[in-house]
Structure 1
């Protein structure tokens, strides 16, 4: 199986996805718990659990990116070990 994206793009996407999962997961948990700093103001969302559900959907998408880009990075590592000639 050949990689679809370059090694740099694969590993960059992997790292960005890791950070996005951590940050969005934390925000989702705070919205789910209806933390007053996030849902306490006049212009803030009133339904914290619904916002949290939307954020968790984004986390699932980033988990998909993480898996895809991780596999792409591993394919690049496997290809470089075989001694293939790169132009």
Structure 2
């Protein structure tokens, strides 16, 4: 298989996806536990678990990006070594 995106884009997507998964997971857990600093004032949402559920959907989307971009990066690594079977 040939990679669809460039190596720089694939590795950038991998790094951004990892950071997004970590940060959004922390935010989702804080909203899910009804932490008073996130759900306590007037401008904050009242239903913390509903907000946490939508944040976890975003985590799943970023996990999909991570898998796709990680596979693209793997294809670039394999291609730079001479293909699936190297005869060197």
TM-score using structure 1 length: 0.94
Residues 3-26 of structure 1, C-alpha deviation per residue, up to 9 Å, x if partnerless? 000000000000000000000000
Counterpart for residue 86 of structure 2: none
Q: CA deviation at 1:51?
A: 0.1
Runs of 4+ in 1 over 2 A off after TM superposition: none
Secondary structure at 2:38's aligned position in 1? helix
Counterpart for residue 76 of structure 2: 76
TM-score using structure 2 length: 0.93
Counterpart for residue 64 of structure 1: 64
Counterpart for residue 4 of structure 1: 4
Q: List runs of 5+ in structure 2 lacking aligned partners.
A: 84-88
2: distance between equivalents of 1:34 and 1:8?
Answer: 39
What's the Cα RMSD here? 0.8
Counterpart for residue 45 of structure 2: 45
Counterpart for residue 26 of structure 2: 26
1: distance between equivalents of 2:2 and 2:37?
Answer: 47
Secondary structure at 2:46's aligned position in 1? coil
